[in-house]
Chains A and B, each alone.
Chain A
Amino acid sequence: MTTPNEYINTVGKAFEKFEASLNGSKSTFLHELRKESLAAILKSGLPGPKHEEYRYTNFGKALEKSIAYEGIVAETAAASAPTPLDSFEGYKLYFVNGKLDASRSDLGDLSEKVTVTSLASAVKEQGDLKEYLGSIVKSWPDAFSHLNTAFAKEGVFIRVKKNTILDKPLYIIHSNDTSATEVLAHYRNLAIVEEGSQLKVIEANFSTGANTSYTNTVLEIFCKKNASVEWSKLQLENETALRIDNSLVYQERDSKCTINTITLSGQMVRNNLYIALDDENTEAHMYGLYLIDGKTHVDNHTSVDHRKPNSFSNELYKGIMDDQSHGVFNGKIFVRQDAQKTNAFQQNNNILLSPNAVINTKPQLEIWADDVKCSHGCTTGQLDNEQLFYLRARGISEDKARAMLLHAFAGDVIANISVGPVKEYLEQLITDKIEN
């Protein structure tokens, strides 16, 4: 095992190797961005347990213990295995062990009004990419975003042109197979949803194999005037998966954005969600469910930044923790001095099913405007005995009654996913998990 500093040094060395492999694309603005980001991470190091934002989730240490950054160049690609989402109607992009599997991906008749391409082609083809890539990260920096910027080569670039409604959802399906070796994957996704357009994306993550799967992903969404985005993350990896996800959204006037984050498994998952509401009449919804057992550790840090008047945010995160699992929720709401008439709601409810399960929950409201409506609430408890008794008094067995109540608790979050088959699939997964 190395000390944090030594580890960061290996990251530096890994970058040298990575740079050498880039062959010819060093002159782009992206390369400058990579170097800046690398410098930032070399300077700051990985956040340790004393870092306020990472005090319950020592992701850096988990990373250090499990995987060497120097392995980065030796990415392994394999054919993607079938997933439960394959038959769902929609556009599909498959990634295996960090690389696009073009043979299985199917963008069908995706109209020319919508561009879906790789990050690498976007750098070449999208002249204005420089204005977007990394710009939201700048307002909400994170050590792992820096790592991502330095190393990410793969990812999806989406641009929905003005007044275009994507007729079917886009599925981005990631599978990591670590049966032969550990897998280290960086993804950099970027969505520009132009004025009056609509986009629905389902991002699903699976992993198999006994070695470590490490994914570091960054998503930036630009939700332009009157645009609407629904982005759902299905985090369904196995118990050797480390996942760090930074998702950042920038909203313009009259836009609406919904981010659903569903985590049912994994070893350690950290989600940083940041939404900037930068004009009037913007609307943001954040829904999250962590239904975990074993030793799974899931940390959701969310921040919504109300910068202008008359904006609305609504947040509901729910957790069910069994065995020795550990949940963390931190919800920040910023209401700036300009942002009068803000409506911001936040709710975090948790059920602990085992005496060894842990939840750390913290609402954090910082309000500088004086005419706002903000509320937050968090609860932690067990199942309600009155409700259990009521169901049992009608003839329903205790096990079934428990399952019904847990399903109802979780269903509150799932109900916000508008893509029918995905909702049904998740409901089934939840039922299986609860009844096991």
Chain B
Amino acid sequence: MLKIKNLKASVEGKMILNGINLEVKPGEVHAIMGPNGSGKSTLASVLAGREDYQIEGGEVEYIGKDLLDLSPEERAREGVFLAFQYPVEIPGVSTTNFLKAALNQVREHHGKPALDAVSFLKLMKEKMALVEIDQALLSRSLNEGFSGGEKKRNEIFQMAMLEPKLAILDETDSGLDIDALRIVANGVNKLKTRDNATILITHYQRLLDYIVPDFVHVLYKGRIIKSGDKSLALQLEEKGYDWIKEEADTVSA
């Protein structure tokens, strides 16, 4: 589904990603962990198409297409979903209206007719239950005045509505209390199918107690320096990142 080959990217002349290689197949859950500043969020942003980043090399193939050639909206319509680390507040745009516009543009892209108001509402109700989000919240301006947990739940709700092929969750667990974390994780698990894939970007092993990854990768200085299964995450939890950093620094030195 997704093949990242030697991806290099910079921001404002500073190299952040120094050659990422990663392959994600349908049905898989990949966790990308790493210390602060290792390039985790940059990777998520580059995959979603944020224009502040300069691609310096490498390629990204997504369902047979050159992902880096697509605009952010084209990526979204092809099924790439980024759950934002810091969902932006947009006063004056209600979540409901925004999602209706988004969903219908995605449907249009796939040659499907726009959803009428009744079907849209029905779909919304169904997905709302999944992330235990309140209707009142959705008629308010997008994320405006939402608590941290509400913002993150709203991201997963949007994901449920848009049913992406590839979901990238950028530190969706950061700052969540255990109840909110459980709700968010539960939503993600229920949305998992054999045909879609998830990339979890996280700083903490805690999330992986709730969403069990097939692969764990450690990102450091813009490279994946170690990959393993879920036991790698436990190892990191126990020993921290220092041992792995030392290993990597020794190799490169």
Q: Is B109's CB within 8 Å of the partner chain A?
A: yes
Type the 1/0 row for A377-406, where 1 means its CB is closer than 8 Å to any CB of B.
Answer: 000000011110111111111101100110
Judge whether B158 is part of the interface by a CB distance below 8 angstroms: yes
Select A395's contact among B88, B90, B93, B162, beta carbons within 8 Å.
B162
Q: Are A394 and B98 in contact (CB under 8 A)?
A: yes
Q: Count contacts between A and B, CB distance < 8 Å.
A: 71
Name the interface residues of B71-94: CB closer than 8 Å to any CB of A: 71-73, 75-77, 82, 84, 87-88, 90-93
Contact check: which of A393, A400, A407, A408 meets B48 at CB < 8 Å?
Answer: A393
Chain A residues closer than 8 Å to B162, beta-carbon distance:
394-395
How far in angstroms is the closest Cβ of chain A from B120?
15
**Contact A404:B76 (CB < 8 A) given known A393-B82, A398-B71:** no
Instruction: Render B94-122 as a binary contact track against A, CB cut-off 8 A, 1 for contact.
Output: 00001101110110010000000000000
The verdict on A386 contacting B91 (CB below 8 Å), with A395-B76, A395-B77, A397-B105 known, is: no
A404 to B96 CA separation, bound complex (whole angstroms)? 13
Complex: A398 Cα to B49 Cα, angstroms: 13
Name the A residues within 8 Å of B75 (CB-CB).
393
Which residues of the partner chain B approach A401 to less than 8 Å between Cβ atoms? 73
Residue-wise, chain A 163-190 has the 8 Å CB interface mask toward B (1 for contact) of 0000000000000000000000000000
- Docked CA distance A404–B76 (Å): 18
Whether B88 pairs with A393 at a CB distance below 8 angstroms is no
Q: Which residues of A contact B92 (CB under 8 A)?
A: 407-409, 411-412
Interface hits, B37-68 → A, CB 8 Å:
48-51
Within 8 A of A (CB), among B132-147: 141
- Do residues B90 and A393 form an inter-chain contact, with CB atoms below 8 A? no
Question: Which of B48, B71, B90, B101 contacts A387 (CB under 8 A)?
Answer: B90
Residues of A contacting B158 in the complex (Cβ-Cβ under 8 angstroms) = 394
Bound: A407/B90 CA distance, A: 11
The answer to whether B91 touches A412 (Cβ under 8 A) is yes
**Smallest CB separation, A365 vs chain B (Å):** 25
The answer on a CB contact under 8 Å between A396 and B73 is yes
- Say whether A390 contacts B90, CB under 8 Å: yes
* Interface pair B76/A386, CB less than 8 Å apart: no
Complex-state Cα separation, A128 to B173, whole angstroms: 71
> Looking across the interface, which residue of chain B has its beta carbon closest to that of A390?
B88
Which of A386, A397, A404, A407 is close to B73, meaning CB atoms less than 8 Å apart? A397
Known contacts being A387-B88, A387-B90, A405-B93, is A395 close to B105, with CB within 8 Å?
yes
- A-chain residues with CB within 8 Å of residue B72 when the two chains form the complex: 389, 392-393
Residues on A lying within 8 angstroms of B by beta carbon are 384-387, 389-398, 400-401, 404-405, 407-409, 411-412
Q: Quote the shortest CB–CB distance from B8 to chain A (angstroms).
A: 21
The majority secondary structure among interface residues of chain A is helix
What residues of chain B lie closer than 8 Å to A398, measured between beta carbons? 71, 73
Chain A residues with CB under 8 Å of B76's CB are 392-395
CB distance from A57 to the nearest CB of B (A): 29
List of B residues within 8 angstroms of A393 by Cβ: 48-49, 72-73, 75-76, 82, 84
Q: Determine whether the beta carbon of B105 is less than 8 Å from that of A396.
A: yes
Q: Report the separation of the CA atoms of residues A395 and B49 in the bound assembly, to the nearest whole angstrom.
A: 12
How many whole Å from A317's CB to the nearest CB in chain B? Answer: 16
Known contacts A389-B50, A391-B90, A397-B73; 13 additional CB pairs below 8 A are: A386-B88, A390-B87, A390-B90, A391-B98, A393-B72, A393-B73, A394-B98, A396-B102, A397-B105, A398-B71, A405-B93, A408-B91, A408-B141
Q: How far is the CA of A401 from the CA of B90 in the complex (A)?
A: 11
Question: Which chain A residues border B99 with CB–CB below 8 Å?
Answer: 394
CB distance from A186 to the nearest CB of B (A): 38
Q: In the complex the two chains form, what is the Cα distance from A174 to B106 in whole Å?
A: 45
Bound together, the chains give a CA A385 to CA B98 distance in angstroms of 17
> Closest residue to A400 on the B side, CB-wise?
B101
Known contacts A396-B73, A407-B92, A390 near B105 by CB under 8 Å? no
Once the chains bind, are A404 and B93 in contact (CB under 8 Å)?
yes
Distance of B48 from chain A, by nearest CB (Å): 5
What is the CA–CA distance of A393 and B90 in the complex, to the nearest angstrom? 14
CB distance from A79 to the nearest CB of B (A): 40
In the bound complex, CA of A411 to CA of B49 (Å): 29
**When the two chains form their complex, are residues A395 and B82 in contact, meaning their CB atoms are under 8 A apart?**
no
CA distance A341 to B90 in the complex (A): 33
Cα distance, A394 to B93, chains bound together (Å): 14
Residues of B within 8 Å of A389, CB to CB, are: 50-51, 72
In the bound complex, CA of A197 to CA of B91 (Å): 34
A386 to B89, CA, bound (A): 9
Contact B109 A392 (CB under 8 A): no
Q: How far is the CB of B79 from chain A (nearest CB, A)?
A: 10
Please provide the 5 A-B residue pairs with the shortest distance between their CB atoms, ordered closest to farther: A408-B92, A395-B76, A394-B102, A392-B72, A395-B106
In the bound complex, what is the Cα–Cα distance between A396 and B87 (angstroms)? 16
**Complex: how many Å from CA A409 to CA B93?**
9
A387 to B72, CA, bound (A): 13
Q: Chain A residues near B77 (CB, 8 Å)?
A: 395
- Chain B residues with CB under 8 Å of A395's CB are 73, 76-77, 102-103, 105-106, 109, 162
